[in-house]
Structure 1
Amino acid sequence: MSQEKIAKEMFLPAEVDATKSEEISKPSLNYWQDAWLRVKKNKGAIVSMVILVLLTIMALVGPLLTNYGIDQQNIKHNNLPPRIPVLEKVSWLPFDGELTRKNGDVYNAYEMKNVDNYYWLGTDSLGRDIFTRLWKGTQVSLYIAFLAAAIDMVIGVLYGAISGFVGGRTDNFMQRITEILVGIPNLIVVILMIIVMDPGILSITIALTITGWVGMARVIRAQVLKLKNQEYVLAARTLGLSNGKIISKHLVPNLAGVIIINTMFTIPNAIFFEAFLSFIGLGLQPPLASLGTLIDDGFKVLQLYPYQMIIPAIVISLIMICFNMVADGLRDALDPKMRD
């Protein structure tokens, strides 16, 4: 058998280009770019973001898509089931305008009442269009969400940062105030607001402003106590930076991840708080609409017209679940140490 000859060039050392020895093959990423890459790997968080964007768009545009007002009543068209053009011809979809009696008989409510209009999500007991009222109610929930986020980021962050950074008697005094506010339930604050003013979105706003920021303030204080003795803070103080500059330039940017995470977890609680108050009659009053009032109205006729409660319940569940999923994704991306 003939043996294969091995070329001498294969035994020579490899030529290494010294100019490329320290070349970085991937582009350098800052903190936020790296965090966004981790968020994109979380499919649940991305899907939740898309759903929240769609719900926000519908909350703004939805009431304009129909010719019905939020408080426009038509008793002759009361308790009509959902009916959507084209989709009404699909037998397995519940958009054909049919209802089922207690004895099991199925009938077309629109034909029985001689109604030619289309109500995409049906009507309530007063003949008001649920589609319009649903997206108006979603606007209230999103308003509460952004209000809670703003209160947390402004009042909670500033209060906690000042308390933790200054320390001493100032910290003791400020923490006694937060302990008093923590001991007062939000429901008691809302009831006190209702005694002073009429029940509604204003009383809920004031209640959230009084007590909604306490949790964020305590978290930020704990983080500031940990960070204020770090080397970069001591260096900044040595260079003559004022306390305000140190808080705004050094501490707050390093607290951004904690702030965003806690804010995202606060939002679902605030939405549920408003819905609960509206459900028990302490929130928005008729004819105004919120998801809580819609669920309350639908609960009263659940056995006869279940769609009146199921539809707003699905929307508020989607909002709360999506915010929680986004919060989980941001927590894993911004602060991997907080993973369970």
Structure 2
Amino acid sequence: MTNSAEKIPKHQFEPAPKTNLESEKIERPQISATKDAWLRVRKNKGALVSIAVLLFVIVMAIIGPYLSPHDGYEQNVTRANLPPRVPVLEDMGIFDGSHEVGGVEENKYKDLNIEEYYWFGTDSLGRDLFTRVWLGTRVSLYIAILAAVIDMIIGVTYGLISGFKGGQVDNVMQRILEVISGIPNLIVVILMLLILKPGILSITIAMVITGWIGMARVVRGQSLKLKDQEYILASRTLGSSNGRLLFKHLLPNLSGVIIINTMFTIPSAIFFEAFLSFIGIGLQAPEASLGTLIEEGYQTFQFLPHLMIIPCIVICIILITFNLIGDGLRDAFDPKMRD
């Protein structure tokens, strides 16, 4: 009987050359946590579309007021309450400056021999609504940036110190937090009005006082959870200082939670400003914000619905895009969502 091993060529039994490192070669390149999260965000179509729409809104808030030949603060009562009129679209029978009043269709542009175009129409004082909408959007974006900065600086710092120190320091800091959180934002704004005039400054101070509480609580809870992990204890054993533990180990591992919480805080802050302006304790005339525009349009909604509908659409777009981006970032940074 022939031995089966003789049928196998001898060169197949030779060991691999010592210089051959193919067996240790990593086929997939190593990527950072940030890049890994971005790769997963790219798979979320809703988040990508929201980012594109939000970028468009930001660009329009910057350049929009300069696109219109009409000033957003200039009053001309002879051109009050004009409906939208847009070039090209008027040839299709839409946005041609005509609207129905008392069951009768009329065109004020033709009646007053107005040759200019008001893309979003005018308000009750003849001011260009297109310019004022994008001026109001600037205020909303300012509130968004302010809310993010407050969360990042005050909320994260307060929560990190409270959670990392623990013990008596944590107890004292949490009692202070409970006292501050017991005061509603609206009460803080009203108290600011006793000292300052109604406007963006009073809203800013109110947000600085109470707007960071949610972030501080989230960061504090995560810090309590992470500070006893093995890698933190190992780093402490090796002699790392508290600053290195905070900024080298804790903060990078909290970045996902911080970004997600900030993206969900921003819509609430924008809505808070719009609500204050709507009830009359936010921005005051002639300044424009989406809240004041909605309040002005609300008074004539049955006759001139575009005065309220257009700013409502813009603020809804901003709120929806931030929420969808927050959902996408939450899925991207959540380890349980890894595929």
- Do the two structures share a fold, i.e. TM-score over 0.5? yes
Structural mapping, 1:29-40, within 5 Å: 29-40=31-42
1:265 aligns with 2:268: no
Q: Tell me what 1:274 maps to.
A: 273
Same amino acid, percent of matched pairs: 62
1:27 to 29, 40, 48: 29
Q: Residue 298 of structure 1 contacts residue 305 of structure 1 at CA under 8 Å; is this kept in 2?
A: yes
Runs (4+) off by over 4 Å: 12-19
Read off the aligned partner of 2:222 and give its amino acid letter. Q
Q: 1:154 to 1:26 in 2, by over 3 A?
A: same
Q: Which residue of 2 aligns with 1:329?
A: 328
Structure 1: where are the runs of 5+ without partners? 1-7
Is the 8 Å Cα contact of residues 331 and 338 (structure 1) preserved in structure 2?
no
Q: Distance in 2 between matches of 1:28 and 1:175?
A: 41
Partner of 1:42: 44
- The CA distance in 2 between the partners of 1:328 and 1:281, in whole Å, is 32
Partner of 1:299: 298
Work out whether 1:98 is the aligned partner of 2:98: yes
Distance 1:116 1:237, change over 3 A: same
Displacement after TM superposition at 1:112 (Å): 1.4
What is the aligned partner in structure 2 of residue 250 from structure 1?
249
Match of 1:196 in 2: 195
Counterpart of 2:100 in structure 1: which amino acid?
T
Instruction: Give 3-state SS (helix, strand or coil) of 1:21's partner.
Output: helix
Residue number in structure 1 paired with 2:167: 168
Structure 1: distance between partners of 2:28 and 2:167: 48
**Do the aligned partners of residues 175 and 302 (structure 1) sit closer, same or farther apart at CA in structure 2, a change above 3 Å counting?**
same
Q: In the TM superposition, what whole-angstrom CA distance separates every residue of 1:24-66 from its partner, at most 9, and x where no partner exists?
A: 3332222111111110000000000000000000000001112
SS in structure 2 at match of 1:41: coil
What is the match of residue 141 of structure 1? 140
Using the size of structure 1 for normalisation, the TM-score is 0.92
Q: Which residue of 2 aligns with 1:232?
A: 231
Shift of 1:116: 1.4
Verify the 8 A CA contact 1:224 1:251 in the aligned structure 2. Answer: yes
CA distance in 1 between partners of 2:109 and 2:64 (Å) = 23
Q: Using the alignment, how far apart are the partners of 1:24 and 1:274 within structure 2?
A: 52
Q: Is the 8 A contact 1:197 1:203 kept in 2?
A: yes
TM-score of the pair, normalised by structure 2: 0.92
Matched to 1:71, the amino acid is Y
One-letter code of the match for 1:86? Answer: V
After TM superposition, the structure 1 stretch with the greater mean CA deviation from structure 2, 244-253 or 20-29, is 20-29
CA RMSD in angstroms, aligned pairs only: 2.0
Deviations 1:87-141 (A, max 9, x none): 21112x3x110111222x2111211122111111100000000000000000000
Structure 1 residue 15 displacement after superposition: 11
Q: What does residue 108 of structure 1 align with?
A: 107
C-alpha deviation, 1:22, in angstroms: 3.9
Offset, 1:267: 0.2
Deviation at 1:338, TM superposition (A): 7.8
Q: 3-state SS of the aligned residue for 2:42?
A: helix
User: Any gaps of 5 or more consecutive residues in structure 2?
Assistant: 1-6
1:20 is displaced (CA, Å) by 3.1
Offset at 1:86?
A: 1.6
**Residue 125 and residue 168 in structure 1: after superposition, are their counterparts in 2 closer, same or farther (change >3 A)?**
same
**How big is the shift at 1:173?**
0.7
Between the aligned partners of 2:21 and 2:227, the Cα distance in structure 1 is 42
Q: Give the superposition deviation at 1:334.
A: 0.6
Query: Between Structure 1 and Structure 2, how many residues are aligned?
Result: 327
In the alignment, does 2:282 pair up with 1:283? yes
Secondary structure of the structure 2 residue equivalent to 1:100: strand
